[in-house]
Structure 1
Amino acid sequence: MIPYGRQDITEADIAAVEAVLRSDFLTQGPAVPRFEQAVAAKVGAANGVAVNSATSALHLACRALDLGPGDWLWTSPNTFVASANCARYCGARVDFVDIDLRTYNLSAEALSTKLEQADKTGTLPKIVIPVHFAGQPCDMPAIAALAERYGFKIIEDASHAIGARCDGEPVGNGRHSSITVFSFHPVKLITTGEGGLATTNDPELAERMTRLRSHGITRDPARMQTDPDSPALSPPAEPWYYQQIELGYNYRMTDIQAALGLSQLQRLDDYIARRHALAERYDRLLVDLPVRLPYRDPRHRSALHLYPIQVADHTTRAKTFQALRDADIGVNVHYIPVHTQPDFQRLGFKAGDCPVSEVYYERTISLPLYPAMTEAQQDGIVAALQRIID
C-alpha cells in the first residue's frame, strides 16, 4: 500500500541513534539540549523545550501560561483532539472557532466576531490555539492583533508546520505568540519516533516548561523554597539536593529520540522542497478533475504536511475513499471536527456548531504525500482518481 505519509530513515539517522546507544547516556544526556538548540536556531526562537510528544508540549504550554479552572481556551475544530484536550487537562473550558473554507485554518474573521460576543458576556478566552493545518500558516498577524485588543495569549499549534514560513519569517520564531509547538511523529515533516518541542522567546516560560516536563523538580537554589522555621526545608549546599516545587510530569524526550531528530533536521529543507514539487505536480495532474485542490496562501510558505482535496459531497467521498483503499492507496481524512466527537458532545457541543468545518469534513480526502513518494506512484494515484471520479 502507498501510505498517506511515512518517515524517511537514512543510514545517517541509524548511525546517529547507534552512537547514542553506545554512549553513556540514553536519556537526560547531551543530545536533548543539542536538539533543542538546533530547532530553536532553525526557527529563530530563543529557547526550545523538547518533550515526548506534541500533546505533552501543548499541555506544558498551557500550564506555563497558568491556564486553569474557570479559564477558557479556544481552538480550531479542524485539528486532532490534542489541540483541545490540553485545556481539559488543566481543568479549563474549551470552545471552538470555525475555519476559513479556503485555507481550512481557524478563521480570523470568525474569531473577531466570537471575541466581540464573548467580551459582552465576560467569557473571553485566556488562550487561543491557532492550528497551522496541513502546514499552512494561519493569519497570525490578524490573530495577534486580536490578542492585543482582547488580552489573550497565543499558543501556535505548528505540529504540521516546522519549516513553514509566515510572511517570510519562520513559524516558531515567536513574533505572534507566546509559545509554538511542533510534532515529530513519524508521519510529520521530520521525526524523532515520537516527540514534540515547544519554542518560546520568554526564558521564564522555557524554564517552567523544562521543570514541568520532569516532575516539577528544580536543582536551582534560586528557585527553591525556604522556611526559616524549618531547617529541613532550607536548601543545603549539597549537589545532590533537589526540590519538587510544583506538580509536574514525566514528559522527557530521550537522547535516542533527540539524536534521530538532529539527524533528520539537517534534511528538513530538502524534505519540504520535495513536498512542494510533488504538490505542484498534483496541482497540474488533477486540474481537470471535479475536485477542489488545496489553496496555498502566497503570503506564506506551507510545510505541506498534507495534500487534502475536496470532492462533491459525503457520498462521493465515501465511495472514493473506499475505492482508493481497495486499490492499495492509503488515503486518509483530516480531520473529524473535534466538537462532534462523543466525548465533546457530552460537554454540550453538537453538530452544527461549526458549520464550515463540518462541510469541509464531509468532502475531504488527504492524498498520499511524503518525500520518498515517486512520480510513478503519484501517477498511479491520479489514474485511480480519474477512474473513480470521472
Structure 2
Amino acid sequence: MICYLLFLQAFESYGKQIEMFKESVKDMLIARTGDVVDKISLIDLLCRLGLSYHFQSDIEEHLQRIFCAHPNLLDTSDYDLYTVALVFRVFRQHGYKMPCDVFKKFIDNDGKFKEALTGDPKGMLSLYEASYLGMHGEDILDEALAFTLAHLESLASRSNPLLKKQIMNALQWPYHRCTPRIAARQNNSLYEEDESRNETLLQFAKIDFNRVQLLHQHELSQLTRWYKDLNVGTLFPYTRHRIVETHVWASEMYFEPQYSYGRIVITKVIAILSLLDDTYDVYGTIEELDRFTDAIIRWDSSALDELPEYMKFLYGISLNLFDELERELTKEGRSYSINYARETVRFNLLFSTIHGLQTLFQLD
C-alpha cells in the first residue's frame, strides 16, 4: 500500500509538470510562421522525443493543412537534401502519399545519386532515414539506402561529435525501425547535447519519459506479483518465465499511459499462452493434451474433473483470466470482443498445436 501511494504521488507530480509544459509546446505548434518547414521540423522533433502523443490531433491538423495548401512544396522550392528528405519522411510517417520523385533532382545523368552529396553528412543522414519509408517498386529509395549506407560510416568519422553520434546511432537503430521508447531515450540524450536545443522541450521530454517509465515499472510490479501468486515456478517447472519479456512487448506496442490496462491484459494473456505452448511442446502426453483440447473447446468449469491434476490449475487460471477480461469489457460495453479472444485460444492455438503433435508422432 505504501509503495502504491508513493507511486501515485510521484506520478501525479509528474503529471502536473507535464500539463504546464504542454501548454507552452502547444503554443509553439499553433504559432503562425511563414516557413512551413519549421513547423514540420518541430513535429519531427516532438515525435523523436516521444512527445507527439500529447498533440496527436494538433499534429494531424497541421500536416493536413500543409499538405493541402502546398501540394508541390518540394517541387517549387530549391530545398537542400536534408530538408527534402525530412519533409518526405515526416509526411510518409503520418500516412501521406508523398511521391518519391522529389529525390530525382539529386540524381545524375547516369541514374545514380550525385557524388557531391557525400559532402553533406547531415543531408545524407536525412536521406538514409527517409529511405526506410520506401514502398515496393520505389527503386530510387532502394538506391538511396544503398548509397547512404556506403558512405555514412566514413562520413561519421569526419563529422562533429554530435553528428557522429547521430549517424552511428541511426546506423544501428534506424528511426523508422526503432521501438518508440528506445528511440525516445536515445533522442533525448542526443538532443541534450545539441547547442541549439529548446530547454522547454528538453525538460518536457525528460519528465514525460520518467513519468511513462514509472508507470511501466508499476505495471510490471503488479504483473510479477500476480505471476508469483500463481506459483508457476513450482507447479510448472518446465515452462519459460517470460513475464518481463511479455510486458516489454506490450509496452512497445502501446506505450502511452492511457493504455495501461491494455498492457496488463496483453501481458497476462501472452504469459498464459506461453504456459499453454510449453505444456503442449515439452510436457503433456498426447492423451493428456487431447483431453485438455476438448476442455478448451467446451470452455466450461465442469471439464476440470476430466483433467490431470496439474492441468486443472492451468485450465482454471485460463478460465479465470478470460472471465476477468469479460467483466472489465462489459463495463465498457465491449463484452462481445472477448469471444474473439476465446476463439483464438480454442482454434488458432490449440488445434494447430495438437495437429503438429499428431504429425510429429504420426498419429491418426
- Bin the TM-score by the shorter chain: under 0.3
Q: Which structure's relative contact order is higher, taking Cα pairs within 8 Å and 6+ residues apart? A: 1
TM-score, length-scaled by structure 2:
0.28
- Which structure: greater strand fraction? 1
Higher Rg? 2
